[in-house]
């Protein structure tokens, strides 16, 4: 269930209340997000759409603890992350959030295996356990046979699948996908979306995705439209649970 | 250990740049090694000087002699336990480039005075019984492939004529820094043959019972010979060696100046290189932070990369310097103690690490202060 009226109960996985973000440029204040409420239950797949500058990515950054709001609060699985120190927030991110970026953002000097392993270096897992987790994640995205390839040796679609494997390897609470298909051709984009869809349906993950692509948005359960920092429309898709 | 691949793979990202930066450290530390060797060569006499020995010279100058009769008067001074004397010879073996120090020494007392030089008893006895006998240091013997029994001619420059010596013994030093490039022959042979200055010696060396008494004894000795035709100037052996080095100029200041300029330049070059490297990786560092790596981790990662470059480059440079010194004194005898000590290697590595740290701190701080959202948006 996804609610935007601020009336969701405390069982929601993600709760945003009165969320606002204001930037100062010169003497001018720019309100990127204004008084946004959002309740997202576990297992949901949400797409945020809207024109450039509507606040989609800013919202995603706030929900993922990459940025701090100017107003309001974000609570994830009972933890109010907007009250956490920067240090605690960093640690929280490593346990709860899996990021998928538009440009994949793989580290070019590391192999697919090493890229996927990165989040696990922050855990107390042994080398053998890390290997097992990485192999599982790469198997889920169908790239077991490419684990020793460097990003430059992979196609864009494969790079994004490695990015998704990196996002899920530490078994995070939810996935934040910032235009995950923005740099892919249609076929690769569909493969990436299939994968996110599968992670939600088979593995019960919660996914929040920013996209400009209507075909990508169709794969979500709910599409939220933003304009000038305000949620203006909510569309529940036929594929919703 | 699990982060090692991350550090190394970043270093291999731009192999040429890493090699050149590391090469800068190698060149700087090679230079440091050689400067340390040269400094050590000049300071060696000061470092190994006996704390319980005084050197008694003619007050006018080091080249003015002293009467042999002073020996007994020195021995009568309370606190002086032992006295020996020697003369500088200054001869040439085959070619002027084959410089090495030659001393005419008192066969009765010289060995007991300089116990850091080890001469086997039978060889010393052979030396005492042969008026033309000579003892040579093992480095000198090695240099000219001399062995016991060889007869060597030396052309006198102060004392005219060709002087022939029979090598009766080879001495070695107790410590690695002891000078084994000298030749000693009998003072009585010199005194007998020389055409002038018979009964005069170059300088005296006196052993004292208590090193803490040195200052008083220096005064006592010089007062003893005050207002005589050959007044003395006495010093501790260490002060004498230090004043000898000073005559060459302030070697340490020169070395410090050159070294400081080199290391400061290295700091700027490495700092700039690391700043570029960090700037190129802004997005990657932001991603590391996004997935949960702390600011402190990113700081340490950048510093670790610089330190690896510094240690590898510095190690190579010091290793090459060490190899260079293994070939021995390249000056043909001016720097007999041409040796890179382990203390200097440790100091060099410490300096390399310090420069690496200093060069890496600013780029590392800027990396650690990156805001993820800004960095991801910027590139």
Q: Which of B192, B182, B173, B200 is nearest to B103 (CA)?
A: B182
The span from the CA of A17 to the CA of A24, in Å, is 22
Say if CB A212 and CB A181 are below 8 A apart.
no
**Beta bridge partners of residue B201, listed in sequence order:** B66
ipTM: 0.89
Chain A interface, best mutation among B10, B280, B292, by max A CB count within 10 A: B292
Q: Which of A24, A40, A118, A111 is nearest to A74 (CA)?
A: A40
Residue A224 CB contacts under 8 Å (≥ 6 apart), including other chains: A2, A4, A38, A46, A47, A48, A49, A231, A233, A234, A235
Q: Is B3 on the interface with A (CB under 8 A)?
A: yes
Cβ separation B9–A94 shorter than 8 A: no
Q: What is the pLDDT of residue B379?
A: 44
Q: Is B376 on the interface with A (CB under 8 A)?
A: yes
Say if CB B8 and CB B307 are below 8 A apart.
no
pLDDT category of residue B45 using cuts at 50, 70 and 90: low
Q: Is B311 on the interface with A (CB under 8 A)?
A: no
**Chain B residue with minimum CA distance to A178:** B376
- The least confident of A10-19, A187-196, B75-84, B246-255 is B246-255
Q: What is the mean pLDDT of chain B?
A: 89
The span from the CA of A112 to the CA of A148, in Å, is 6
Find tokens 């590139």 and name the residue: B379
Supply A9's token pair. 């109960």
Please tell me what DSSP assigns to residue B92: B
Domain boundaries, chain B: 4-45+249-378, 60-230
Determine the distance from the C-alpha atom of residue B75 to the mean position of all C-alpha atoms in its chain, rounded to a whole number. Answer: 34
Q: Which of B321, B317, B320 is nearest to B309 (CA)?
A: B317
For residue range B206-246, what is the model confidence (pLDDT) as tens digits? 999 998 888 899 999 999 999 998 999 999 888 887 776 67
H or E stretch at A17: strand A14-25
Say if CB A105 and CB A132 are below 8 A apart.
no
Query: Is the pLDDT assigned to residue B62 strictly greater than 70?
Result: yes
**Beta bridge partners of residue A176, listed in sequence order:** A99, A208
Query: Is the pLDDT assigned to residue A239 strictly greater than 80?
Result: no
For residue range B174-185, what is the model confidence (pLDDT) as tens digits? 887 788 999 999
Q: Locate the DSSP E strands across A153-237.
A: 174-178, 206-210, 222-227, 230-236
Q: Which of B26, B48, B29 is nearest to B37 (CA)?
A: B29
**Chain B residue with minimum CA distance to A57:** B373
Dihedral pair phi/psi, residue A37, rounded to 5°: -115, 140
Chain B interface, best mutation among A59, A66, A84, A126, by max B CB count within 10 A: A66
Domain A42-65+88-236 fold is: Rossmann fold (3.40.50)
Query: Is the pLDDT assigned to residue A240 strictly greater than 90?
Result: no
The span from the CA of A14 to the CA of A77, in Å, is 7
For residue range B289-338, what is the model confidence (pLDDT) as tens digits? 998 999 999 999 999 999 999 999 999 999 999 999 887 777 766 676 77
Average confidence (pLDDT) over A22-39: 88
Residue A189 CB contacts under 8 Å (≥ 6 apart), including other chains: A157, A181, A213, A215, A216
Q: Nearest by CB to A110, which of B9, B293, B372?
A: B9
Domain boundaries, chain A: 42-65+88-236
Cβ separation B295–A118 shorter than 8 A: no
Q: Locate the DSSP E strands across chain B.
A: 53-58, 66-67, 80-88, 102-105, 117-118, 133-137, 151-155, 162-173, 183-186, 200-201, 203-208, 232-236
Residues of A with CB below 8 A from B292's CB?
90-91, 93-95, 119, 122
Cβ separation A109–B292 shorter than 8 A: no
Average confidence (pLDDT) over A43-49: 93
Q: Environment class of residue B55 by beta-carbon count within 10 Å: exposed (0-12), middle (13-18) or buried (19+)? A: buried
* Beta carbons within 10 angstroms of residue B50's beta carbon: 18
Dihedral pair phi/psi, residue B302, rounded to 5°: -65, -40
For residue range A123-133, what is the model confidence (pLDDT) as tens digits? 999 999 999 99
């Amino acid at each position: 269930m996804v609610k935007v009226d601020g009336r969701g109960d405390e069982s929601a996985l993600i709760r945003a209340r009165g969320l606002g973000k204001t930037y100062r440029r010169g003497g001018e204040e720019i309100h990127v997000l204004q008084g946004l409420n959002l309740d997202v239950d576990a297992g949901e797949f949400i797409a945020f759409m809207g024109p450039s500058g509507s606040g989609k990515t800013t919202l995603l950054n706030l929900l993922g603890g990459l940025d701090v709001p100017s107003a309001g609060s974000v609570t994830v699985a009972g933890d109010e992350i907007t009250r956490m120190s920067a240090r605690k927030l960093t640690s929280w991110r490593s346990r709860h959030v899996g990021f998928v970026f538009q440009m994949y953002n793989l580290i070019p000097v590391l192999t697919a295996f090493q890229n996927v392993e990165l989040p696990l270096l922050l855990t107390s897992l042994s080398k053998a356990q890390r290997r097992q987790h990485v192999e599982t994640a790469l198997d889920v995205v169908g790239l077991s046979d490419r684990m020793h390839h460097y990003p430059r040796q992979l196609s864009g679609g494969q790079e994004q699948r490695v990015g998704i494997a990196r996002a899920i390897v530490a078994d995070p609470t939810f996935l934040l996908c910032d235009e995950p298909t923005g740099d892919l051709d249609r076929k690769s984009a569909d493969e990436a979306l299939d994968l996110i869809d599968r992670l939600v349906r088979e593995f019960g993950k919660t996914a929040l995705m920013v996209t400009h692509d209507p075909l990508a948005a169709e794969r979500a359960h709910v599409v939220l439209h933003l304009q000038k920092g305000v949620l203006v429309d909510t569309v529940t898709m036929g594929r919703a649970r | 250990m699990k982060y090692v691949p991350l550090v190394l793979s970043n270093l291999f990202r731009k192999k040429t740049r890493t090699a050149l930066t590391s090469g800068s450290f190698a060149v700087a530390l090679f230079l440091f090694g050689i400067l340390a060797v040269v400094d050590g060569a000049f300071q060696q006499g000061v470092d190994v000087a006996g704390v319980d020995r005084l050197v008694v010279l003619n007050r006018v100058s080091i080249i003015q002699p002293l009467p042999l009769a002073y020996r007994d008067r020195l021995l009568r001074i309370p606190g002086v336990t032992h006295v020996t004397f020697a003369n500088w010879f200054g001869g040439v073996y085959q070619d002027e480039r084959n410089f090495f120090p030659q001393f005419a020494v008192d066969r009765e007392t010289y060995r007991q005075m300089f116990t850091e030089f080890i001469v086997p008893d039978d060889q010393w006895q052979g030396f005492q019984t042969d008026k033309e006998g000579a003892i040579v240091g093992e480095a000198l013997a090695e240099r000219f492939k001399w062995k016991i029994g060889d007869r060597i001619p030396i052309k006198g420059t102060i004392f005219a004529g060709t002087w022939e010596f029979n090598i009766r013994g080879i001495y070695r030093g107790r410590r690695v820094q002891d000078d084994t490039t000298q030749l000693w022959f009998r003072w009585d042979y010199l005194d007998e043959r020389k055409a002038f200055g018979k009964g005069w010696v170059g300088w005296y060396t006196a052993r004292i019972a208590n090193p803490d008494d040195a200052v008083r004894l220096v005064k006592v000795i010089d007062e003893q010979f005050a207002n005589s035709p050959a007044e003395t100037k006495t010093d501790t052996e260490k002060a004498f060696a230090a004043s000898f080095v000073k005559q060459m100029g302030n070697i340490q200041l020169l070395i410090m100046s050159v070294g400081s300029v080199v290391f400061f330049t290295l700091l700027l070059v490495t700092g700039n290189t690391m700043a570029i490297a960090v700037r190129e990786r802004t997005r990657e560092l932001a991603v590391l932070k996004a997935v949960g790596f702390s600011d402190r981790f990113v700081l340490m990662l950048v510093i670790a990369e610089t330190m690896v470059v510094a240690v590898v480059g510095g190690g190579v440079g010091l290793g090459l310097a060490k190899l260079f010194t293994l070939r021995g004194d390249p000056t043909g005898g001016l720097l007999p103690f041409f040796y890179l000590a382990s203390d200097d290697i440790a100091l060099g590595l410490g300096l390399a690490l310090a420069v690496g740290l200093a060069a890496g701190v600013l780029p590392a701080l800027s990396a650690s202060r990156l805001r993820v959202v800004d960095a991801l948006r910027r590139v």
